[in-house]
Amino acid sequence: MRLLVLDASLSRCLAALTEGETVLMQRVHDGAHGQAAALPPLVEAVLHGPVDAIAVGIGPGSFTGLRCAIALAEGLGIARAIPVIPVSTGEALVAMREGAWAVTENRRGELFLERPGLAPPCVVAEVDLPRPAQLTWIMGDGAPRAVARMLARGWPAGLGEARRIEAPALARIALRRLAGTLQPRALEPLYVEPPATT
pLDDT digit string, tens, across residues 65-123: 899 999 999 999 999 999 999 999 999 999 988 889 999 998 788 999 999 778 888 99
Residue 186 domain flag: no
What is the total count of domains within the chain?
2
E strand map for the chain: 2-7, 12-19, 22-30, 53-57, 84-87, 101-105, 111-115, 119-124, 136-139, 157-159
Largest CA distance in the chain: 53
Model pLDDT for residues 163-191, shown as the tens digit of each residue: 889 999 999 999 999 999 999 999 999 88
The reply to whether 147 and 54 lie within a common domain is: no
Q: In terms of residue numbers, what domain contains 30?
A: 2-89+165-179
The reply to whether 20 and 73 lie within a common domain is: yes
Residue 190 domain flag: no
The reply to whether 46 and 133 lie within a common domain is: no
Residue 121 domain flag: yes
Evaluate if residue 36 carries a pLDDT over 90.
Answer: no
Beta bridge partners of 76: none
